[in-house]
């Protein structure tokens, strides 16, 4: 059974008003309201001002072609691992910084956080980036985003796997551009971002 990911940007000031032990459920409910239009397959499902009945402190992003699965993100990371030693150092450093802030697989993703640990609630997230960390991702993207085409040859030689998740260079860059859009919007609003396991 595969893992899912739902990317959301969140008004951290509002999030911090929610008791720690209730945050996970509150964010998941905000990210997946009953009236959510599942016809949105790529891009923002909603942005504030939110439609009636939707939270105004959370916005959801859909990565096109992923069906909500975490697998493409995982395989993009694996693809990058195969390519990174074959690209210029400054580009490698920037893309390392961008990806390290976004996809990672923390331990215990199938279990609830310890109720006594005020910081443990975020250990169940696929990505966790509070507002102070977002500018570093924006900076990293400003360096690597315009240079993605430089990766094409190395990706084709070392990571291409047609027919597999993120097996083509275009799929890899499409996913990165999606994350860049999430990061840019979070930065614009002064919000943080989360990758929920739903």
| Residue 42 pLDDT | 87
| Residue 109 pLDDT | 37
The larger pLDDT score, comparing residue 19 to residue 40, is at 19
> Which residues, other chains included, contact 188 with Cβ-Cβ below 8 Å and sequence gap of 6+?
none
Tell me which residue of 177, 167, 175 sits closest to 145, measured CA to CA.
Answer: 177
Q: Tell me what the mean pLDDT of segment 98-121 comes to.
A: 51
Average pLDDT in the chain? 84
Q: Tell me what the mean pLDDT of segment 170-188 comes to.
A: 95
| Residue 152 pLDDT | 96
Question: Considering the entire predicted model, what is its pTM?
Answer: 0.86
pLDDT for residue 13 is more than 60: yes
Q: At what angle do helices 71-83 and 169-189 cross, to 10 degrees?
A: 110
| Residue 194 pLDDT | 92
As a whole number of angstroms, the distance between CA 31 and CA 150 comes to 35
Q: Tell me what the mean pLDDT of segment 126-143 comes to.
A: 93
């Amino acid at each position: 059974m595969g893992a899912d990911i739902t990317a959301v940007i969140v008004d951290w000031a509002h999030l911090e008003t929610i008791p720690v032990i209730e945050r996970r459920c509150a964010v998941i409910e905000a990210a997946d309201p009953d009236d959510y239009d599942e016809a949105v397959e790529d891009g923002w499902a909603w942005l504030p001002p939110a439609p009636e009945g939707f939270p105004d402190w959370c916005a959801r992003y859909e990565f096109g072609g992923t069906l909500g699965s975490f697998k493409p993100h995982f395989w993009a990371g694996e693809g990058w691992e195969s390519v990174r030693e074959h690209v210029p150092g400054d580009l490698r450093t920037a893309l390392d910084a961008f990806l390290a802030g976004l996809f990672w697989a923390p331990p215990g993703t199938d279990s609830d956080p310890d109720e006594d640990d005020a910081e443990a609630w975020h250990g169940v997230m696929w990505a966790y980036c509070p507002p102070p960390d977002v500018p570093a991702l924006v900076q990293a993207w400003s360096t690597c985003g315009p240079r993605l085409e430089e990766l094409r040859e190395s990706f084709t030689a070392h990571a291409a796997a047609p027919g597999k998740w993120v097996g083509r260079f275009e799929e890899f860059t499409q996913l990165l551009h999606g994350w860049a859009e999430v990061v840019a919007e979070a930065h614009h609003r002064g919000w943080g971002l989360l990758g929920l396991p739903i």
